[in-house]
Structure 1
């Protein structure tokens, strides 16, 4: 028996980007475990990825090209050859392009976060084709915009420093489920005496294990940050030296937050004035004592109308109290911009001959149902989906499914499994998993460049995304040399080696070692140096004013809440959020039986008072609905959901739900204040017994 250990990287949409060791015996992957030597992974994988071999060798893997033989959405296919599949796709694309190349739309996101299998060869193909561009907004673009307006780039506190903090605010996230290795650091800080505070409308697993949980109303995080700033300035809990040297617009900020008294803030947020006072005093007092104070923002709080502004407001807090002076202080939303990615080399935007329109992935339902018009351009005639499952994941799902069900829409899906989206495809192409191809990864939760080596040969007739688009390029007659580059060639171009942070990057050595840390300072903004036009943390931001936004921190009320839309709230009085279920990652892993069995079935957490008003008991099947649609789930009567809020942990494949629907039946295609992102948690519903 031949036994080898292969260095790999978790590819999924998670800030941890774990270093993995894959045991291979006679060509079969038998175990996946965390690399004990990687500083952030520390030998630990989450429940999901530790079962990666179960997913790779799943009995339902798509291992051959498939052609639809039933109605769209039925999921009935026949096996065909690669030549037949590629010829069919190329013929149809040529037909569509003869009318308008922009009638072709790529749809992808973070099914893999790899820089090679994610967007390199695919982007080259679509640029050369002249297809519509895709605005990839569905997760983090609102918060990213607010963060960059304020701090200049998505650079923040190194996760390896959090265990040294004396106060950690976990704002809008549940890291036990979605950021395990940060949580391990936070737990170590707690053992060393740090106070942990969770800010979340829902008492999540994480909130239960923090010293304090502040259960504010959804969409009011920006208001809470403004209230904190009011107290910090009022009570002289700021670092005046840091503010004077390294911030812009303090006087305007001071005037802006005058009205945000604890009483006023509490009324907006649905909490008590004492909670506002205590939070601000805990934060400001610890900083004044010289203790590191850190904020970990996660993505939940930005999925509302004012989500970008909420992140911006929170990002003002560390500069106000001088938290950036410490390596363990500051804020982290994402470390993405620490990595000097060479996107031009990877994606080759120079192949695009003329400007083309951009389609927002978060409004794909509306986009697929549009006719040709001067305003919106040509009707979408072909969609190629890879690394994504929009029928399950995109908002206002009834419209998404209706769009993909069009008989005149040609749809190709690259997939591992027959997902909800694959059921609507004309052609399904079998893609490799992370164990079967080469890739390179930047991360958004730590500072290590990561390599992925292929551990096993592709199963069946599966091919890497890169090879699929190489073959399609050849069928389309694209003969540019970049379409002949190997995956190793592409990976070697991934980072800008002229940048000081990655000047030591070498793909061959990275493949051997598996990971290597960027050359980044421990405390990135200890002495200012923010990558903003002013070089300072911008409380007042002229770029926001130029973009038609309020240049100062403010509060933007949700689209749908009792306060902002009382007429709607009369019909639909309950807010709803749909954060990730612990055993799923977006819609990935839902079809892995052991994980789905652990999760059980779709549930809706509802407060006892709200349940009693509706005659709902524990375990009842309930219908959740609004004007956009409805879905059913089993009620869990619990005070983990604050009064007036219901929580449907997600995202279930529709085919595994009792009624063939999921939480996105009721979500909206409305977009955020900045970043053009979705408003998944800005939703009003009613609930009744099913």
Structure 2
């Protein structure tokens, strides 16, 4: 199977709008051509001026996933730390990190992905792998052909939900109530893994006491799912133990109770007995390569990274900075100011909450350098644009811990007027005086050899084995029986030692979403944003003509009853208003229960309308700082021309 984006890659790589040749912003706000060497000379001098004036930490770097996210990200991190600044931002501030943090506080790692193919039941929590992870959906489908079952928990009737044996259409933000209900059920039935709990866990009694209130009646009231369906779910769970896996999607990260929701789901898996078993949630063994990050955790903290005091757990787990407080530092609202930024393969003006604030922050910087393949909304604000290479124009190592393989994607073509990540950071580092120490390798091939050195696997091994090379022997299960969990206690922590020290609830808790506790007349609806479209990847691939014809623009999906009550027709353009902004967008009226009444769904990644003009960077999960992008209070207004 080739995904639609893969089939259209030639058009994307050779697109007429592809950036080729460096650009410098003019005094009139446009761009003029500048040579690569001149651009880097000027950037280096401005960076030295910033460091002399305000210190190294006034400079920052920010990477996304448009051109890679493994060693490509690590190059930028190595560079900014070698320069003397801790301020390295990534897309992890709005994607991935909250799940990793939640699982780490339970078991010290996150299994990604679980053993879908051998599982007797897969529970997808706010995930639609048919669009977001097609290879995972293939494995789930193979499991189902062998008798495995699929349960989907989602407010939307997604493609995965249509395939499911059981679809629980929960209200957004109530997933934790469901997970705690299932925990209570296992405990009452004495169906949980009692040996695991007694020998390898901490805090079971506290969790069991807290879960006691999550009865069928209470959880039906919270989630909007009938007691009959909840009871059916309990029965399916009981029949599938212990080979029952949960997979948490990004949507649970985008709720103000997301961190504890994910911890509740991790605790459910432990009670099922699914930890590190075949057909369960594996404790994957990583390959031991050399690492490009030059700083230890202690060194990183001592450099006073921007925003550390806000979300210390994020910084300690990720060894990166959180972009939401980072934007405040760029606006001069931190304990010091960030005055410069180099960003690569990311488009925060479209993908971060409070887009207007992000744009304002970028516009205030003394130095803003963009690295991308296309002229994005973020790149338009840059002082310098250095065109980047795509994944086809460079080589990179890829590690697959679930099958214990390492592989190499090789450079297959050249595009004139672009520079790969290693070349850019290498050349800039040498101009700043630390290239010889931190970027001494001649090219990316030399880097790949150095990364592989501790493994005993050569680059030639990978070149001659495009399917990858196995880096470890037979997969071992239930490793917790012979080695401690990588947690402070060495056990699975239903109550977290780490969270207790931070003053957070040590066990998972459920905080009902605000719309269940207080109705807002001013903002009676709740907006879901960021739902995946199979042909796009966030703000990417919108340039492809075939895709533009298929989905020419964003639409606000709304329940038919809400549309009728508001007098809105299918296709009508309306104004969506939130606490911080407004956008105009056409409406698509949804039938057949595809979306819950009282909710609207608007995809992100479009220049117009930019849904993140509605999302609020202050409305966040208190532990991880992840923004609320899935339960945003809004109202719909008819435009004067349609009244």
Q: Deviations over 1:290-343 (max 9, x none)?
A: 6x2222222211211121111111011122122337411237xxx8x7424656
**Alpha carbons of structure 1 residues 180 and 477: separation in structure 2 relative to 1, 3 Å:** same
Alignment partner, residue 38 of structure 1: none
User: Are 1:513 and 2:453 counterparts?
Assistant: no
Cα 1:404–1:79 change in 2 (3 A) is: same
| Cα displacement (A) at 1:621 | 1.3
Query: In the alignment, which residue of structure 2 is the partner of 1:192?
Result: 146
Q: Displacement, 1:178?
A: 0.6
**Aligned residue in 1 for 2:342:** 384
* Superimposed CA distance per residue, residues 331-357 of structure 1 (whole angstroms, 9 cap, x where no aligned partner): 7xxx8x7424656x3122279897142
Do the aligned residues in 2 keep the contact of 1:103 with 1:132 (CA within 8 Å)? no
For the residues of structure 2 that align with 1:626 and 1:495, how far apart are their CA atoms? 50
Give the whole-Å Cα distance in 1 for the aligned partners of 2:302 and 2:83: 11
Cα distance 1:446–1:580, how it changes in 2: closer, same or farther (>3 A)? farther
Q: Which moved more, 1:358-367 or 1:249-258?
A: 358-367
SS in 2 for 1:605: strand
1:339 is aligned to: 286
1:668 aligned onto 2:630: no
- 1:89, distance to aligned residue in structure 2 (A): 0.8
Residue 66 of structure 2 contacts residue 372 of structure 2 at CA under 8 Å; is this kept in 1? no
Provide the residue aligned with 1:402 in structure 2. 360
Select which of 267, 272, 285 maps to 1:316: 267
Q: C-alpha separation between the residues in 1 aligned to 2:498 and 2:259?
A: 14
| Cα distance, 1:129 vs structure 2 | 1.6
1:545 counterpart residue number: 500
1:31 counterpart residue number: none
* Of 547, 553, 556, the match for 1:601: 553
Change (3 A) 1:468 1:687: same
Instruction: Provide the rounded CA distance (Å) in 2 between the counterparts of 1:595 and 1:338.
Output: 39
Q: Is the 8 A contact 1:142 1:673 kept in 2?
A: no
2:574 — aligned with what?
A: 622
Structure 2 equivalent of residue 685 of structure 1: 634
Q: Residue deviations 1:219-269, cap 9 Å, x none?
A: 211111111111221223323233323322222222111111111122222
Match for residue 631 of structure 1? 583
1:277 aligns with 2:231: yes
Give the Cα separation in 2 of the matches to 1:520 and 1:271: 45
Judged with a 3 Å threshold, the aligned counterparts in structure 2 of structure 1 residues 46 and 447 are, in CA distance, closer, same or farther, namely farther
Q: In the alignment, is residue 450 of structure 1 matched against residue 385 of structure 2?
A: no
Conservation of the 8 A alpha-carbon contact between 1:340 and 1:496: no
Q: Which residue matches 2:317? A: none
2:102 is aligned to: 146
Is the counterpart of residue 330 in structure 1 residue 271 in structure 2?
A: no
The alpha carbon displacement at 1:271 in A equals 2.1
| Structure 2 CA distance for aligned equivalents of residues 538 and 250 of structure 1 | 8
2:315 — aligned with what? none
2:222 matched to 1:268? yes
How far apart in 2 are the matches of 1:367 and 1:297? 32
2:489 is matched with 534
Q: State the partner residue of 1:461.
A: 417
- Structural RMSD (CA): 2.5
Match of residue 254 from structure 2: 303
Question: Counterpart of 1:513 in 2: which secondary structure?
Answer: coil
**Distance in 1, Cα, partners of 2:124 & 2:324:** 26
Distance change (3 Å), C-alpha of 1:238 and 1:378: closer
Partner of residue 645, structure 1 = 599
* C-alpha contact 1:581 1:651 (8 A) present in aligned 2: no
Q: Is the 8 A contact 1:363 1:669 kept in 2?
A: no
2:61·2:89 contact (CA, 8 Å) conserved in 1? no
Query: For 1:109, which of 48, 53, 64 is the aligned residue?
Result: 64
State the alpha-carbon separation in 2 of the partners of residues 592 and 170 from structure 1.
Answer: 31
Going from structure 1 to structure 2, the CA distance change for 1:446 and 1:646 (only over 3 Å counts) comes to farther
Q: Post-superposition shift, 1:673? A: 3.3
Q: 1:368 aligns with which of 315, 330, 333?
A: 330
Alpha-carbon distance, 1:445 to partner: 7.2
1:118 is the counterpart of 2:73: yes
Q: How far apart are the structure 1 equivalents of 2:164 and 2:623?
A: 31
From 400, 406, 412, the counterpart of 2:369: 412
How far the C-alpha of 1:393 sits from its partner, in A, is 0.8
SS in 2 for 1:571: coil
Structure 1 window deviating more from structure 2 (545-554 vs 481-490): it is 481-490
For the residue of structure 2 that corresponds to 1:323, the secondary structure is coil
Checking the alignment, whether the CA contact within 8 Å between 1:156 and 1:524 is kept in structure 2 is no
Q: Which residue of 2 aligns with 1:436?
A: 393
Q: What's 2:437 paired with? A: 481
**Residues in 2 aligned to 1:555 and 1:600: alpha-carbon distance in whole angstroms:** 39
Q: CA deviation at 1:276?
A: 2.5
Aligned to 1:254: 208
Distance 1:119 1:224, change over 3 A: same
Q: Secondary structure at the match of 1:405?
A: helix
The 1:70/1:557 distance shift into structure 2, 3 A limit, reads farther
| CA deviation profile, 1:593-641 (whole Å, cap 9, x unmatched) | 2223222210111111111121111111122211211122221111311
User: Cα–Cα, structure 1 residues 193 and 354, in superposed 2: closer, same or farther, change >3 Å?
Assistant: closer
1:89 to 12, 27, 43: 43
Q: Distance in 2 between matches of 1:418 and 1:434?
A: 18
- Residue 363 of structure 1, CA deviation: 4.2
Residue number among 18, 23, 31 corresponding to 1:66 in the alignment: 23
Name the TM-score, length of structure 1 as normaliser. 0.84
- Are the equivalent residues in 2 in contact too, given 1:108–1:388 (CA < 8 A)? yes
**Unaligned residue ranges in structure 1 (runs of 5+):** 1-43, 498-502
| 506-515 or 220-229, which deviates more | 506-515
d(CA) in 2 for partners of 1:341, 1:362: 32
Provide the residue aligned with 2:84 in structure 1. 130
Q: Distance in 2 between matches of 1:243 and 1:138?
A: 33
Judge conservation of contact 1:628–1:667 (CA < 8 Å) in 2.
yes
Q: TM-score, normalised by structure 2?
A: 0.89
d(CA) in 2 for partners of 1:526 and 1:327? 12
Contact 1:164 1:189 in 2 (8 A): yes
Is contact 1:576-1:645 (8 Å) kept?
yes
- Distance in 1, matches of 2:476 and 2:124, equals 20
Query: In the alignment, is the contact (CA less than 8 A) between 1:394 and 1:400 conserved in 2?
Result: yes
- Helix, strand or coil at the partner of 1:117: helix
Aligned length: 612
Distance 1:479 1:216, change over 3 A: closer
| CA–CA distance in structure 2, aligned partners of residues 138 and 521 of structure 1 | 35
Give the conservation status (yes or no) of the 8 Å contact 1:62–1:418.
Answer: yes
C-alpha distance in 1 between matches for 2:277 and 2:398? 28
Q: 1:445 to 1:580 in 2, by over 3 A?
A: farther
What's the offset of the Cα at 1:176?
A: 0.8
Q: Is contact 1:157-1:523 (8 Å) kept?
A: no
Kindly tell me: are residues 156 and 474 of structure 1, through their superposed partners in 2, closer, same or farther at Cα, counting changes over 3 Å?
A: closer
In structure 2, C-alpha distance between the alignment counterparts of 1:278 and 1:676, rounded to whole Å = 35
- Structure 1 segment 4-15 matched on structure 2, within 5 A: none
